[in-house]
Amino acid sequence: MKQSQLFTKTLREAPKDEVSLNAQLLIRAGFIDKLMAGVYTYLPLGLRTLKKIQDIIREEINAVGGQEVLMPALTPKENWVKTGRWDGLDVLFRLEGASDKEYALGASHEEVVTPLVQKFAASHKDLPCAVYQIQNKFRNEPRAKAGLLRGREFSMKDLYSFHKDEKDLDEYYEKVKAAYFKIYQRVGLGDITHLVFSSGGTFSKYSHEFQTITEYGEDTVYICDKCGVGVNKEISAEQTTCPECGGKNLKEAKAIEVGNIFKLKTKYSAAFDYNYIAEDGSKQPVIMGCYGIGPSRVMGTIAEVSHDDGGIIWPESVAPFSVHLISLGKNGDEVAKTADKLYNDLATRGIEVLYDDRDVGAGAKFADADLIGIPKRIVVSKKTIEQGCVEVKSRKEEDGRLVKIEEI
């Protein structure tokens, strides 16, 4: 894409009302725009990154047998009354009184997916099954000041699994755990993301979170120096050794929760009276699990942990473009012609290029390239083409190197 045609621009300064680091970086780079507290528009660059994160998640969830559906955001009050969450869930957006019918905006979709799967999977032969969606959730967060980390509207991948017994749930749960680690690896958060034990609520001893270590994190976790598994502060008083390996050295760290998985067991199947017919003809309760990752939260987390003073440093896998091609020529001169040709050549070969063909100075172009954070920068200037070269620089490195144009 030609940068001259991009309708957005980078901003020299972050908006004054934006206190979160990820949102400041993403707004300045032209990835998102703040509509109001906790609610953002994804601009062309930001939407490309969001979709890449969503696609990586989609691939890994498909690989563990998840079937993709798309449930509505508008959900009927009666389903939430059944599970006790109409009154019990503080952050639920309720549409009351304004209409002939009362609704909640989906803050989570157990209330929709449970009766949905119940319609189709009535027999033991239909189980297990796993259903997911990538869709926007709505939560009326009292403090929505953390940018993409705590939105009132945000992108979520929510997977729900349905099983005949706990053993089958346990096996599938481990598969999803492994899929989650693959996802974090692929989006560039693998090395700093840990499995963390947290409270399991009424039905299970533990649930599990995936926590990305960063000094700016909202959560406090204790990571075992032996196996790397952690414990959330909320259960650290009763759990003083590593629940995974028994290790005794748990080191405190700040972290951002980038996913969680939960054995719901019969909590929602009981609320909807969802039982299956077993091999012997008896009715048995369906056992459920749920598994969440927020693509928008992952995007915000990457910005928080991967940046320098100049701006964001995107991992290749989720960068809006692979290459930022910068021409330091003027319209029609030899430099611009060389850059045009290179842009067309790269595009023909299927490489995603953002081509800075704008009529602005070199300093502004380099500053914008740093802000936007595309992993590879190629500069075409008078100096480089005199040697038949372009300058290639990684976003992470200080210095570039000259490469012959025909080798690109």
Question: Given the rule CB under 8 A, which residues bind its own copies?
Answer: 5-9, 33, 35-37, 39-44, 47, 50, 65, 67-76, 93-96, 98-99, 101, 105, 112, 116-117, 119-121, 126, 129, 131, 136, 138, 140, 152-153
When the beta carbons of 74 and 245 are compared against its own copies, the nearer one is 74
Tokens 């405190």 sit on residue: 252
Which residue number, 22 or 155, has a Cβ lying nearer to its own copies? 155
CB of 346 to its own copies, least distance (A): 18
CB of 380 to its own copies, least distance (A): 23
Which residues are paired to 285 by β-bridges? 275
Nearer to its own copies, 93 or 216 (CB): 93
CA distances from 166 to 73, 254, 259, 268, 278 (A): 30, 33, 22, 15, 14
Question: In terms of CB distance, is 104 or 325 closer to its own copies?
Answer: 104
User: DSSP labels for 323-338?
Assistant: EEEEE-S-TTSHHHHH
What angle in degrees, to the nearest 10, is found between the helix axes of 166-186 and 44-63? 140
Closest contact distance (angstroms) between CB of 73 and its own copies is: 6
The residue (of 69 and 227) whose beta carbon lies closer to its own copies is 69
Min CB(209)–its own copies separation in Å: 26
Residues in the chain: 408
Q: In 3-state terms, what secondary structure has residue 275? A: strand
Tokens of 233: 């502060």
Closest approach, Cβ 105 to its own copies, in A, equals 8
Minimum distance from CB of 406 to its own copies (Å)? 31
CA distances to 168, 384, 390, 403, 407 from 387, rounded to whole Å, are: 64, 6, 8, 9, 13
Distance CA 66, CA 2 (A): 37
Q: Which residues pair with 93 in a beta bridge?
A: 105
User: Between residues 231 and 353, which has the closer beta carbon with respect to its own copies?
Assistant: 353
Give, as one character, the DSSP assignment of residue 396. Answer: T
Least distance (Å) between residue 353 CB and its own copies? 16
Nearest CB to its own copies, comparing residues 36 and 237: 36
Q: Looking at residue 189, what DSSP letter applies?
A: -
Place of tokens 């050549």: 345
Pairing of strands 206-213, 193-199: antiparallel
* Exposed / middle / buried, residue 12 (Cβ in 10 Å: 0-12, 13-18, 19+): exposed
**Tokens linked to 96:** 């009351």
Q: Pick the closer one to its own copies by CB: 47 or 351.
A: 47
| Rounded least distance, CB 103 to its own copies, Å | 8
Determine the Cα–Cα distance for residues 128 and 164; give it in Å rounded to an integer. 7
Measured from the CB atom, the residue of 83 and 236 that comes closer to its own copies is 83
Least Cα distance to 244 among 259, 269, 222 occurs for 222
CA distances from 365 to 134, 149, 361, 372 (A): 35, 29, 6, 11
CA-based end-to-end distance of the chain: 18
Cβ 336 to its own copies, closest distance in Å?
18
CA pair distance 36, 60, nearest whole angstrom = 33
Asked whether the CA dihedral 34, 36, 38, 42 is positive or negative, the reply is: negative
Q: How far is the CB of 404 from its own copies (least distance, A)?
A: 33
CB of 271 vs its own copies, minimal distance in Å: 17
Q: Which is nearer to its own copies, 197 or 321 (CB)?
A: 321
Q: Closer CB to its own copies, residue 8 or residue 204?
A: 8
